Structure 1
Amino acid sequence: MKKTVILFSVLLVCLTSSALAQLKSLNIIRDTIYSNILKEKRAIEIVLPEGYSDTAATKYDVIYITDGEWNTQIVGNIERFLEIQFMPANIMVSLPNTMLQGQNMRGRDLTPTRTNGDPQTGGAARYIAFIKTELMPYINKKYRTTGMNTYHGGSLGGLFGMYTLMKEPRLFQSYLLADPSFWWDKDYLPKLVRDSIGKIDLNNTTLLITGREGEPAQEQRVNTMDSIIKKAAPAGFHYKLMLYNDETHNSMIFRTVYDGLKLTYHGYSKQDLNFYPAGGVLLKDKPFKMRFQGDFVKELHYTTDGSVPTMASPKMAGNELMLHNTTQLNLKELTYRPGYEQQASANFSIGNTLPAGPQIKNFSPGGWNYAYYEGNWNTLPNFKNLKPLKKDWAGKDFDLSKLPKQQNFACVFNGQLEITQTGYYIFGLRGDCESRIYINNQLILTQQTAGIKSYLLPLQKGFYTIRVEYLEKQGKPSLDILYAPENGNGGIIPMELRYGDAK
């Protein structure tokens, strides 16, 4: 069974060549916004996704980054790298700190309380208000955003992120906090979290806290915060603590951004949720092992009773699923970030092996017969009422592109298929327009759009009549008739298994 769907893997393994390409330099847009709340002009840096266009309809999540003068390039390049496989493209908005008389004002903006009477501390509430009521509306108006936001901050920026989570939990859907300074003001934040976390809506919110193993985690009060969160975290809150070895306070950003964005989009897949077969006939008490190829998602759940999968439903482990007397298979990729789920289903019936017949007299291997038609049809016509313009042999040299027309035509292929071993077979149609396949005059598969459709059949050793109908409307005709035996290689049906009248 390991080789059953080799033929289909190309449709699942769609790794782009960008995975091997070098990351391009970030195109940073430098802008300013005047804040009535902060009473000052604030610099902002925006990094747009590759291919961003004002005229396109695509919208993007946004990552907000504190300490922008240090972090824009770092976060931007890590995000671009993760786009290759683990997350969708994001808009990045970075916030450099204000400098007054040579002094960095990050302590003023990122700390929740004033300590020791220092006027340059305790401005976090005003900074939250600036982000919520001035900066985010500005970004959402100027750029095409989804309204889903991620926050990244380290050290005091991590302190600010946790404070924001307690005071404005829906402002961001994900929080990435690198080595946060939870010790601030005699452990003010751990106390606030202990009193607040059970009272706020954290459903579908993601939080990653990172720290350094050993004494540094204790000094930053990371372990203290972890204990508080784990005791009171509500259901639907996706929280994780990661302690790193051999890192410094300043190097924590690299792994925090990488692991944090992966956690934010946990369950996300670049690939469409395709699996093969997408339906068919199962024999009673004879299971079939369905295989998934390509990079496997982490939260693919399934049901066999017709219900929609949830986190409580069985979860795929590995890339195989044994189908046993199953009639309705539903699958769903469940993601931490709402809006990126994928669903698919397959319908099976419990039936019998389709009986084989003898080889038709005068039929020989090497191809099928075909009939060619022309007409302006929107869908496959009833060929019984039509007269073909051409009939001929479709052998190894047959080429759709050499037919008289390249659009508004149809072909019907007829012949026999030899099955060399009794067992399950997956049949597939891959093309650019509409096609159908009949076996023993039974319609088993219809494809109506570009891509692939597949179907499972139990067959006997012997011969089956086969009929394939194909309609081309747009030009550049393409059709592959595929199969995969249960315990063999799959691919385009070999010419030596196609029988017809070559005379």
Structure 2
Amino acid sequence: MKTLPVLLITLFTYFASSSQSVVKELSESDFSIGKSITIESKILGEERILNIYLPSSYSTDSLKTYSLIYLLDGSRDEDFIHISGIVQFASFPWINTLPESIVVGIANIDRMRDFTYPSGNKLDQTEFPESGASEKFIGFLEKEVLPFVENRFRTNDERTFIGQSLGGLLGTEILLKAPHMFDNYILVSPSLWWDDENLLKAEIGNFDSCKKIYIAVGKEGDVMERTAKGLYEKLLTEKSNNTNLYFNFLEDKTHGDALHEAVYKAFEAFAQKTTSTSD
């Protein structure tokens, strides 16, 4: 009577071992989506990491040039990988909302220091004593990062900026004071509460160089929602005829998860022909 159980166990062991041997590992290699480059910044007095996403055609088409997307909070463990994925997806031929582009993720060291201008608010000064060095960081972007990237890689003349939260605050500062630095701006949940919202009172520079500006905010409370819409309305009254302006309220998103959807919606909006929209 013990023969049948023993036979079943023997057959099970045989088939289990046979199925495990079906797959034969042939090779293993690292998987990479681009490059990580460390540069020395004389302006900041420190080394900084740039993470670079290169489209698949970059290595096969030596004559092709690419638009550039500059991403703040661009560390590997921040927004670089998922934003690069959106860029890849949006540039697939069957999606075709974005030309193949290079993503430049600028890794952080101290975002509170780098993304804020000096605040006149005493509480800001007390809670964030390291803040207020955005002028230096903007100089680092304009005089060091942009020339380095555009000399190193095959690029065309189009630059897009992506910044969220404090990165959106910095992007707003650049947009208002030096809009020529980028052609397109994607500003998500910008922290315009900084310095008692005084950046919203700043004069607007010459917008003739700006092609597209997209502003988005999630369900993030009165201040964040009001100031983001306030920025849109300010730009709407001052924008040039060459500038397309978009606003999106993402009511099912929060400050923590608005960026991913906002960036994809920005690419969709940029592919359209309308000059200004508010949703």
Normalising by the residue count of structure 1, what TM-score does the alignment of the two structures yield? Answer: 0.44
Identity over aligned residues, as a percent? 28
Is the Cα contact below 8 Å between 1:26 and 1:76 reproduced in 2?
A: no
- CA distance in 2 between counterparts of 1:113 and 1:206 reads 28
SS, match of residue 132 in structure 1: helix
Alignment of 1:295-334 (within 5 A): none
Residue equivalent to 1:169: 179
Name structure 2 gaps, 5 residues minimum. 1-30
Deviations 1:113-165 (A, max 9, x none): 24426441111111111011111111111100112110101000001001011
Which of residues 22, 42, 52 in structure 1 aligns to 2:58?
52
Q: Against the structure 1 CA distance between its residues 138 and 238, is the aligned structure 2 distance closer, same or farther, given a 3 Å change threshold? A: same
The yes-or-no answer on 1:83 pairing with 2:91 is yes
- CA distance in 1 between counterparts of 2:184 and 2:173 reads 13
Which of residues 233, 239, 244 in structure 2 aligns to 1:238?
244
Between structure 1 and structure 2, the one with the greater Rg is 1
Q: Against the structure 1 CA distance between its residues 243 and 76, is the aligned structure 2 distance closer, same or farther, given a 3 Å change threshold? A: same
Residue equivalent to 1:201: 207
SS, match of residue 146 in structure 1: strand
- CA distance in 2 between counterparts of 1:92 and 1:176 reads 14
Is the Cα contact below 8 Å between 2:43 and 2:140 reproduced in 1?
A: yes
Task: Give the aligned residue type for 1:65.
Answer: L
Task: Give the aligned residue type for 1:167.
Answer: K
Is the Cα contact below 8 Å between 1:182 and 1:220 reproduced in 2?
A: no
Q: CA deviation at 1:175?
A: 0.6
Deviations 1:75-108 (A, max 9, x none): 000111101221110011001101xxxxxx1000
- CA distance in 2 between counterparts of 1:220 and 1:234 reads 23
Q: CA deviation at 1:54?
A: 8.1
Task: Give the aligned residue type for 2:182.
Answer: F
Which of residues 88, 109, 113 in structure 2 aligns to 1:108?
113
Give aligned pairs, total: 235
Is the Cα contact below 8 Å between 2:70 and 2:160 reproduced in 1?
A: yes
Q: CA deviation at 1:220?
A: 5.9
Task: Give the aligned residue type for 1:226.
Answer: Y
Which of residues 224, 230, 233 in structure 2 aligns to 1:227?
233
Residue equivalent to 2:24: none
Which of residues 55, 77, 81 in structure 2 aligns to 1:73?
81
- CA distance in 1 between counterparts of 2:254 and 2:64 reads 39
Residue equivalent to 2:147: 137
Task: Give the aligned residue type for 2:266.
Answer: G
The yes-or-no answer on 1:157 pairing with 2:167 is yes
Residue equivalent to 2:26: none
Task: Give the aligned residue type for 1:127.
Answer: F
Deviations 1:384-410 (A, max 9, x none): xxxxxxxxxxxxxxxxxxxxxxxxxxx
- CA distance in 1 between counterparts of 2:194 and 2:247 reads 19
Kindly report the root-mean-square deviation, in angstroms, between the aligned alpha carbons of the 2 structures.
2.1
Which of residues 225, 240, 261 in structure 2 aligns to 1:255?
261
The yes-or-no answer on 1:190 pairing with 2:200 is yes
Name structure 1 gaps, 5 residues minimum. 1-24, 99-104, 268-297, 300-310, 312-503
Which of residues 201, 207, 210 in structure 1 aligns to 2:216?
210
The structure that is strand-richer by fraction is 1
Deviates further, 55-64 or 75-84: 55-64
The structure that is helix-richer by fraction is 2
- CA distance in 2 between counterparts of 1:220 and 1:109 reads 24
Q: Against the structure 1 CA distance between its residues 260 and 120, is the aligned structure 2 distance closer, same or farther, given a 3 Å change threshold? A: same
Residue equivalent to 1:93: 104
Residue equivalent to 2:191: 181
Q: CA deviation at 1:57?
A: 1.1
